[in-house]
Amino acid sequence: MRMVDIIERKRDGLELSKAAIKFCIDGYVSGKIPDYQMSSLLMAIYFKGMTDEESTHLTEAILRSGDIIDLSAIEGIKVDKHSTGGVGDKTTLVLGPLVASCGAKVAKLSGRGLGHTGGTIDKLESIEGFQTTLTNHAFMEQVNTINIAVAGQTASLAPADKLLYALRDVTGTVPSIPLIASSIMSKKLASGADVIVLDVKIGDGAFMKTLEDARTLGRLMVNIGANFGKKVIAFITDMSEPLGMAIGNKLEVLEAIRTLQGNGPDDLNKLCIEIGSYLVHHAGITETLNAARKLLEEKISSLEASAKFKEMVEAQGGIMPQLNDYIHNETLIAVKSEKSGYVSKLNALDIGLSAMRLGAGRETKDDTIDMDVGIVLNKKVADTVEQGEVLAYIYNNKKDITEEIKTILNAFTITDSFVEKPSLIIEVIE
């Protein structure tokens, strides 16, 4: 088998066999296939696409390039959730403890943030003492004991994906649905969960820009999961504006805690209840989705969900944040509206990039994050605004943020006419 023949076959729009795909992935990971040939294949896939069967074979080849976590030592059905990335997306911080408080087993491996999207591990590491590196034994023992553990992904998990993504990032082949699907699903399948809910974001602040592309990606990942005997559900959700009100690591942790206490923003609370209902129901805890929703709401109102978050933090060596003494920044700046009207648009991407430049995110993998900075929104789409009223607050440790004030101000579009609040959950694919 020759790499050049495989490249030519995909270039001509023909289907690749399981053996050919395995040959490419194994060869690239071992160093036998050079970057220039793999780049050529990735570009051919970008233009010619892949069938569902090819995408499944690619997922399996990436999956088997490294370790596959065996969670059989954890009792019961293991559940997991993955988001394709967004601005202010602290869903895992709320959803994990909430679902665990209902009795579901949450064995979650998460990543760090890069660019305008935040990472769950960064947010958890903003909690003093919180350990995100756990041995397999400690990880599984913690899930068995308190129903939840959230840890960082290890280098041995789907190493082919890391190599391929680095190459895609510099060859213009990132926005390919088969490559995105195989990247996500290889890591999720390697993580060992039985039930996986995928949150596919669309809009300005998301990777998927159109509903059609989001549907295609969601359906493909659901089908790949089914081919591996896993229950996978894909939510398509709106990311044209940030999720919740807080963007920034410590700020998002505080918002997650408030949400678990029943005082969070409506959109974040709704998304966690809906995704959580599928995880709880398919974990066999309730007979219906409605019963699962009711149970989740009861766990919030009884503060059992909040207590579970504290239990997770302390189990992983952390000190539970105090709501009134957690953020340490030099200045708090109010961005005020220059006109009255209705917020008709709030550009999530601009808000996310602004938070990153303040220090809340990384532009490159080597950047250091400032855990105390970020943005807290005071208005969102469909809200009324008076001239001089605060649109957002900037938590800042930099001397000059004149440009960021302008960016945030321009992220808000204010019109004279009332607009409807956008639908958060657009579709659910099973």
Please list the active-site residues.
Answer: 82, 161, 168, 183, 187
CA–CA dist 25, 57 (Å, integer): 11
Length of the chain: 430
How many Cβ atoms sit within 10 Å of the Cβ of residue 53? 15
Detail the DSSP E strand segments found in 216-320.
231-238, 246-247
Query: b/e map of 392-414 (b: 16 or more CB within 10 Å)?
Result: bbbbbeeeebeebbebbbebbeb
Q: Please give the C-alpha separations between residue 328 and each of 255, 371, 378, in angstroms, as whole numbers.
A: 16, 9, 20
Q: Please give the C-alpha separations between residue 299 and each of 16, 219, 259, 316, in angstroms, as whole numbers.
A: 49, 32, 12, 22
Q: Which residue in this structure is represented by tokens 């919030």? A: 300
Which residues are 114's β-sheet partners?
A: 117
* 3-class state of residue 149 by DSSP: strand
> Pairing mode, if any, of strands 331-336 and 390-396?
antiparallel
Report whether 219 contacts 235 (CB < 8 A): no
CA–CA dist 422, 424 (Å, integer): 6
Fill in the DSSP letter of residue 369.
Answer: P
Q: Give 405's contacts (C-beta < 8 A, 6+ positions apart).
A: 333, 335, 394
Tokens read off for 231:
């229950």
How many Cβ atoms sit within 10 Å of the Cβ of residue 264? 22
End-to-end CA distance of the chain: 38
Report whether 355 contacts 375 (CB < 8 A): yes
